[in-house]
A and B are shown apart, each in its own frame.
Chain A
């Protein structure tokens, strides 16, 4: 039986296809301004790549901030639940999930059964989110994909004291105007994000495997800064970006009576 999960995020829309509970395909694309169209297109693409007709889907579960725009969804589920389910399935030892998306970040504590025991989300501003890093990358004229390499090249981190995206951007401009190279600034920015995230991790309780998901998990700089702050290894599964959509697909599989092993 074919089921799918779709995660309509603020920046990227992701779809995951399952066949009898096994991963059958993934697809990601920019969300753009028409959320419903992005969801339709993403679903069509993942089905096309797997050579299946979207009409054959037995169930579809939607998540992400645009979840309510997915009209064909049998159920909508929040990103917190879906990322928890997806991360646990990808990394069975996961106890704490750090999901950093485009517009928010969340830290989720799982119980022994893999269910959400507690969670916190970033409060009141964009600090510690993908959007924060996007703005800084644009200002530094460095592609986000290069943040990891540049982070490794930095001998020290520049001090970014503000957690406000706008003020931090002005700090970056000030550092550049003082001749500071992009590398320590990038490390300082990753440290600033990791600072926020580590505080959130301690709020739900550090312990057990720590897994990072969401688009920012591909940024090795943030991962390494977080490891330095928390003194624990951070696991980033290969399909980290798809954790939310994968969790949604697993819930869809359960909706049609499938059994998911946690």
Chain B
């Protein structure tokens, strides 16, 4: 992965090449050239250099699936930032097959906020959002997304599509982004209660949005829609094998890493790069299981993780997976909840996918999935990452906790923030997780 945070000869070289885009800073007497990320992301050569560096990464120990994931991100970022394809901003639960199918490239500001946090770039975006009068009490994924757009860190969208389900902040912040960019804004209104009529109504909205986009945005057409759905199905088939392999005890994959790839899971359905990524991941997990080589040594407990994770640098997972020898065996947001799509009936199929989202509708739907995951993945305890400002996930925490406890499954509500490190305390998070693991130890008589 590219790092913008530490001085290096590579960055010096990059800085000189970027010319006017670079600024000089002095570090310990030496002069380093730092390239502003929003400039670097818009340079064609940066993607060439990054692509050329991939074999080097592999040679230095990166796994094939990790390289495939970077390739996937690089391809979409190049399309979006270099303007090779119309860039369509979407909220997290818009079916991205629609965008790939139209010939565009999706861009999810919420997921990009997670990436920005991982690269240490979120603070500036958060400040930019607060300068627009947004309260720090709002979800930081939306704040950083909007701030990133306002400060020029994100590419320029040709259109914005949001859905009404789950995150209210998403559609409002993305509406603001569409005003900043002066581009069309579409909202798919997802009915709260599933029914055939509701699905048909949603399908008609998707069809209208697709048709309108194809007419209004140069470079978009409906021709590739069926193919995008076929690619999505191909990736889903691989992904279901990955999910099945993760049922293995001990866990063959670190949950902390799996939570990073949730961003890709939200972003890339319909992309040609997704199936190769999941294929490479499946092969990796098969090898790990066959070799008995598991990332958490002497796994003591298996956790189900609800909601996202802190994407900035934190010791929380090192403590959990290392010191406490406990795995995040699976994540709520890694659950593929939709059936295979029908390329012959794309709009109805995408509507059905959206209506299948277990986070929408009565809390019983979410609870049913959580209980199923608890059984399928031999879960000892459930951790809800209580993202600061997240209403859709935190709202049901009390009911979920109560129902799980009835079944003898301990539940931890872990306060924190996925993007804004100011909204959480690492030491407290570690203490809470540690106490939770001690509780699980005691239940086992340890």
Taking beta carbons and an 8 Å cutoff, which residues of A are in contact with B?
65, 77-81, 104, 115-121, 123-124
Contact = CB atoms under 8 A, between A and B. Distances in A.
B30 interface: no
B51 interface: no
Contacts of B413: 120
A117 B442 CA distance: 9
Contact of A116 (B424, B431, B435): B435
A124 B388 contact: yes
B410 A80 contact: no
A127 B159 CA distance: 44
A104 B428 contact: yes
A184 to B, nearest CB: 31
23 contacts: A65-B431, A78-B431, A78-B434, A78-B438, A79-B431, A79-B435, A80-B431, A80-B438, A81-B435, A81-B439, A81-B442, A104-B428, A115-B439, A118-B405, A118-B410, A118-B439, A120-B413, A121-B428, A123-B386, A123-B415, A124-B388, A124-B415, A124-B423
Contacts of A81: 435, 438-439, 442
Contacts of A124: 388, 415, 423-424
Given A78-B435, A116-B435, A116-B439, 11 more contacts: A65-B427, A65-B431, A78-B438, A80-B438, A81-B439, A115-B439, A115-B443, A116-B442, A119-B439, A121-B431, A124-B388
B124 interface: no
A254 B438 CA distance: 15
Contacts of B423: 124
Interface in B404-436: 405, 410, 413, 415, 423-424, 427-428, 431-432, 434-435
Most buried by A among B423, B424, B438: B438
Given A124-B415, A124-B423, A77 B438 contact: yes
A116 B412 CA distance: 13
Nearest to B430: A78
A79 B430 CA distance: 12
B388 A119 contact: no
Given A78-B431, A78-B434, A115 B442 contact: yes
B272 to A, nearest CB: 43
Contacts of B435: 78-81, 116, 119
Nearest to B437: A78
A121 B434 CA distance: 13
A131 B395 CA distance: 29
Interface in B333-349: none
A145 to B, nearest CB: 28
Nearest to A106: B435
Contacts of A121: 428, 431-432
A240 to B, nearest CB: 20
Contacts of B428: 104, 121
B319 to A, nearest CB: 10
Nearest to B439: A116
A6 B410 CA distance: 28
Nearest to B445: A115
Contacts of B438: 77-78, 80-81, 116
A77 B442 CA distance: 12
Nearest to B424: A124
Contacts of B424: 124
Contacts of A78: 431, 434-435, 438
B250 to A, nearest CB: 23
A78 B428 CA distance: 10
A78 B424 CA distance: 19
B17 to A, nearest CB: 44
A79 B438 CA distance: 11
A119 B431 CA distance: 12
A120 B414 CA distance: 9
Nearest to B412: A119
Nearest to A123: B415
A129 B406 CA distance: 31
B419 to A, nearest CB: 15
A108 to B, nearest CB: 9
A23 to B, nearest CB: 23
The 5 closest A-B pairs by CB, nearest first: A80-B435, A78-B435, A78-B434, A115-B442, A81-B438
Contacts of B439: 80-81, 115-119
Contacts of B442: 81, 115-116
Nearest to A117: B439
Contacts of A117: 439
Interface in B105-163: none
B345 to A, nearest CB: 47
Contacts of B410: 118
A81 B324 CA distance: 15
A80 B413 CA distance: 15
A116 B432 CA distance: 13
A78 B438 CA distance: 8
A239 B410 CA distance: 30
Nearest to B415: A123
B147 to A, nearest CB: 21
A123 B425 CA distance: 10
Nearest to A80: B435
A237 to B, nearest CB: 21
Nearest to B429: A121
Contacts of B388: 124
A80 B434 CA distance: 9
A118 B388 CA distance: 22
Contacts of B434: 78
Interface string B25-52: 0000000000000000000000000000
A123 B435 CA distance: 15
Nearest to B435: A80
A251 B131 CA distance: 51
A76 B438 CA distance: 11
